[in-house]
Structure 1
Amino acid sequence: MTSEERPLDAAIRALARGRGLPGTLELWRPATWTELDARIREGHPWWSSADRPDHGWLTGNGRAAAPRSPFGGPRPTTGQLALALCDADGRVREAALAHAAGRPAVLPLVAVRTADWAEPVRRRARQVLAAALPGADEPTLAVTVPVMIRVGRRLRGTESTALLREFLDTAPGTAVRALMLHRDRPTRRLALDLAVERGLLPAGELARLAAYDEDTAVRGRAATAALAAGVPDETLPLLLGARSGDVRSAGVTALRRAGRAVEAEPFLYDRSGLVRACARWVLRQDGRDPLPLYRTACADPKTVPDRAPLGLAECGERAADLPLLWELTAHERAQVRALAVAGLRVFEVADHARLLPLLDDPAPGVVREAARALLPWADRLPEQELLRRTGPGRPLHVRVRALRLLRESGSGAYEATARRLCEDPDPVARLRFRRALGIEEAGPRRQSRRFWSWLS
């Protein structure tokens, strides 16, 4: 493959020369097959006469046959068959389908043909696919099922979707479970839905999926199914310990139904706002007010949980709880200080005189929250206070946030300050400033966006 040749072009050239699809293609991706089909049907003017397929093996005379003509000639190679299945001539595509039976390597392309614009091609492709699916092994299903899901979204793909659903409803449980491990997310989602409907997964396995799967939709569906199974001892520990806040919130909510509402109290200080809200709801349903718990937790500086100040602001009373939050902005732990400032933002505090000094905090998290709290009132901030914090003697995180506030304030000094900081002699600082302002850093293969075009 030349440096300018696209991988799919190289794959088509390999097929035309009698070789198989190169291992560099990601055949598990349904887009690979649909793009391969589109590229072949576009045609390739740069093919040599030796490369250009003539499909002579279909009739023995080099011409496409009518749909019902007998076919002679030798058994086609996989490459010949793949090229014919994607040919621009519908008669060639239909004729090629007669040779696709028992050829699992091209089954994904047969799946593409089930949504073909030509009705005879669609009908023949569905017949071939319906006959091939029951005997297909797991590797073949792994590349074919995602294609069927993808083409099922096309204008003429509804029958393909129905065919897939009919097959999976009766497919061996091992095949459905194998599809749940697929890298294609729509495939995993469909396999999970069918596994739940057919009762193929125990509650504990569903809970593990909810806790560890990378796909949000799979996590949510698995958590719902695990809770519906009604086995708290197997599911709740996994759900409550999940990395995803959505899954933990489902577990916390289920504590009430399991009669274990008291276990929701530690989740009042969870890192997820949704989980904290669910924990408060569970405690209230159990007859306990979470507000005194937050106040007690925040009152002792030695034991205050990191997120207790933010939780206090989320359900507290402005007049009663603001003084406690201001006290916690001086706490020895940076995380407590940062979330106390975040609590002030929840209360929409506009005391610029007290918030501005928080921009000088040594912890970047505190400065970030202080800048967010000041942002709605950036046009009222003293320009000199912000300019002073962009100076070279200041910590980098302070300079970055001050520059952003200067931009939002509409200051006339912003343009010159931004130009100066984006040309800072420190490469780390320069990169941070450019990223903060949405300007790409120049690289060997990427031209950076011009600074003045960004400002315009």
Structure 2
Amino acid sequence: MWSAAEDESWGRNAAAGLLEGHESPAAALLAGNGPDAWTGFDREVRRLLRCHPTPEGGGRLEARLCHPDGRVRMAALAAWRNPPLELLLIRCADWVPQVRDRARRVLGRAVARYPVRNRDRARRALNRPVADDPALVLTALVPLALRLAGREHGGWAVEQLEAALSGRYSLLAAWWRPGLPSTTWSRNSLTAAQREAMLERLTGSADRPTRRFAARVAVACGQYGTRELARRAAAEGDPVTGRTWTDAALAAMAAGGPDDRAVDILLGSRSAPVRAAGVTALRRAGRAAEAADHLADRAGQVRACARWLLRQDGGDPYAHYRGLVTDRRRVTRYAVAGFREVAGRSDGPLLRALLDHPEGPVRATALAGLRGLGLVVEDAVLLGMLEDPSASVSREAALGLLGVAGRLDSAALADRTGPEWPPHTRRAAFRLLRGRGGSAELRACVAMMTDPDPVLGLYARSTVLDWNWLSTLDEGEAHQAELGALLARAAQVLDVRRLRLL
């Protein structure tokens, strides 16, 4: 995946080197970088030429193509036979109409002829292989075209690419001659094999906007079948692109009939929205009875779809969940979470019975479910669960006690912040001490400034730095002698000037 900041920085450095007289062409300096390197190069050249109109490398054609003066850019387009296609594409979104139109004509001819007629010369100049197939050149330009689409005149290139990939007409010969007959377009259009190869490369790009664009075009063209759409949806990590593939797969199944294999592919995805779509597709496939298998999915969205489907089939999700949480061998944390989503306050005893389950995640989810239902768990029980070996249980117990931290014994909580306790227990106790506020919080923060846990130490030091010591003294929460001792211990993190004032 490209880093936009690094690429832009690289482009600015290349622009500075070019204007300082670097011998390598811009294409060689920026080879292997993403689209932001080219836009950064263009902006930096323009900025430097405004500040220093006559630098050493200001006469280079790359610099003239990015010059602030539109007449200079126009002359560079007329004089340069083989300019970098990336700079040409940027000039196709130029704010000057004459420059913009000429750049589009030059780019059309360059894409059609440059790779083949000047392959050897380009390879020597750029020190990189140059593709024979114009479709490969177009593929490399797509990320930059998508970046330029946000500009006032930048949508043109994306429209042309989409039209070429759809097979409507050719970018290679008809860009600057819109009046050409359709027979001429068809002779110069990309072949079906070229379009398929371009879409395959674009859908596998590391650049998210490129994958989103390619997915949209491929779906519009009907490029893939139902199972391939489902496979791409299941494998896609970007939610937007995954939604495109998923909707297309569901539409294909609605039009062409259910496909069990495609449904199974959707259900096996790691993405929750894709799995949810697979659950809803079970109904059309005549497999609604399988909804019960997804009631304990790890994603709430999938569980909700499974409950809906089960109700549509005449089932009762509550009964299924009750059977899961009462079977200690089958119950999981996600089964408990699903039961909480359909349970009422009368189901508290079922959740309370899981507080001693051997699995920590089950105990933590049951505790969270009780809190979500508004059911009170005794302070003594929650204080005991602060020492639970599972960090998730200790965290949930602290959340349950946070609202009543003021009535807890601060000394007992402070004992649990000692180095002999595991980090999650110390964090839970410290959280409750901070929830108490006042001198109890200050004592805990001063004591834990040097805690080996970096998170606890950071929280403690930041609290001490922002503490209002005089307010604590005025409110009588601590004696002056005790505050003086705490201040002396906190001297290592306080500013000398502030410490002297205090």
Q: 1:99 Cα deviation (Å)?
A: 4.7
Whole-Å separation in 1 of the counterparts to 2:317 and 2:242: 28
Tell me which of 333, 336, 343 is aligned to 1:316: 343
Structure 1 residue 187: Cα displacement: 1.0
Equivalent residue, structure 2, for 1:346: 372
Q: CA deviation at 1:334?
A: 1.5
C-alpha distance in structure 2 between counterparts of 1:26 and 1:334, whole Å: 52
* Pair 134,325 (structure 1): closer, same or farther in 2 beyond 3 Å: farther
- Secondary structure at the aligned position of 2:98 is classed as helix
Aligned to 1:76: none
> 2 CA distance for matches of 1:436 and 1:268?
39
Q: Does 1:266 align with 2:293?
A: yes
Q: In the alignment, which of 7, 10, 23 is matched to residue 7 of structure 1?
A: 10
Superimposed CA distance per residue, residues 137-194 of structure 1 (whole angstroms, 9 cap, x where no aligned partner): 3543343211111111112323344333333322522212211111111111011100
Across the aligned residues of Structure 1 and Structure 2, the Cα RMSD in angstroms comes to 3.0
Unaligned runs of 5+ in 2: 1-8, 114-132, 168-189, 463-491, 496-502
Question: 1:112 Cα deviation (Å)?
Answer: 1.4
Determine if contact 1:113/1:121 at 8 Å carries over to the other structure: yes
Sort the Cα spacing of 1:287 and 1:134 in 2 relative to 1 into closer, same or farther, 3 A.
farther
Q: Bigger CA drift: 217-226 or 21-30?
A: 21-30
Whether the 8 Å CA contact 1:130–1:163 is kept in 2: the answer is no
1:309-364 per-residue CA deviation (whole Å, 9 max, x = no partner) reads 12111111211x11111110100112221221222232133435133322211111
Deviation at 1:109, TM superposition (A): 1.5
Is the 1:209–1:218 Cα contact (8 Å) retained in structure 2? Answer: no
Q: Do the aligned partners of 1:368 and 1:401 also contact (CA within 8 Å) in 2?
A: yes
Shift of 1:271: 1.0
CA distance in 1, matches of 2:408, 2:28: 60
What displacement does 1:7 show?
A: 3.3
Conservation of the 8 A alpha-carbon contact between 2:449 and 2:461: no
TM-score by length of 2: 0.73
Q: Which residue of 2 aligns with 1:442?
A: none
Change (3 A) 1:370 1:221: farther
Question: What are the equivalent positions in structure 2 for 1:39-188 lying under 5 Å apart?
Answer: 39-43=44-48, 52-55=56-59, 80-99=60-79, 102-103=82-83, 106-133=84-111, 137-170=134-167, 171=190, 172-188=195-211
Deviations 1:194-232 (A, max 9, x none): 001101122222222211222111111111111221152
Partner of residue 248, structure 1? 275
Partners in 2 of 1:48 and 1:130 — Cα distance? 31
- 1:378 is displaced (CA, Å) by 4.7
Size of the aligned set, in residue pairs, is: 407
1:268, 1:279 within 8 Å by CA — same for their partners in 2?
A: yes
What does residue range 353-368 of structure 1 map to in structure 2 within 5 Å?
Answer: 353=379, 354-368=381-395
**1:208 aligned onto 2:231:** yes
Q: How far apart, CA to CA, are the structure 1 residues paired with 2:202 and 2:137?
A: 11
- Judging changes above 3 Å, is the alpha-carbon distance between structure 1 residues 406 and 130 closer, same or farther for their aligned structure 2 residues? farther
User: Displacement, 1:381?
Assistant: 4.8
Aligned to 1:304, what secondary structure does the other structure show? coil
391, 395, 415: which one aligns with 1:388: 415
Q: Provide the rounded CA distance (Å) in 2 between the counterparts of 1:404 and 1:100.
A: 67
Tell me how far apart the structure 2 counterparts of residues 239 and 189 of structure 1 sit (CA, whole Å).
Answer: 19
CA gap of 1:24–1:204, structure 2 versus 1, over 3 A, is farther
- Structure 1 position 118, deviation (Å): 1.5
Contact 2:266 2:278 in 1 (8 A): yes
- CA–CA separation in structure 2 for the residues paired with 1:438 and 1:175: 55
Find the aligned partners of 1:20 and 1:236 in 2 and give their Cα distance.
52
**Gap runs ≥5 in structure 1:** 1-5, 56-79, 440-449
CA distance, structure 1, for counterparts of residue 251 and residue 40 of structure 2:
40
- The letter of the residue matching 1:184 is D
Instruction: State whether structure 2 residue 351 is matched by structure 1 residue 325.
Output: yes
Question: Does the CA-based 8 Å contact 2:14-2:29 persist in structure 1?
Answer: no
Q: Is the 8 A contact 1:210 1:222 kept in 2?
A: yes
- Contact 1:100–1:107, Cα closer than 8 Å, also in 2: no
Higher helix fraction: Structure 1 or Structure 2? 2
Q: CA deviation at 1:376?
A: 5.0
Distance 1:130 1:45, change over 3 A: closer
The answer (yes or no) to whether the contact 1:152–1:158 under 8 Å persists in 2 is yes
- What is aligned with 2:43? 38
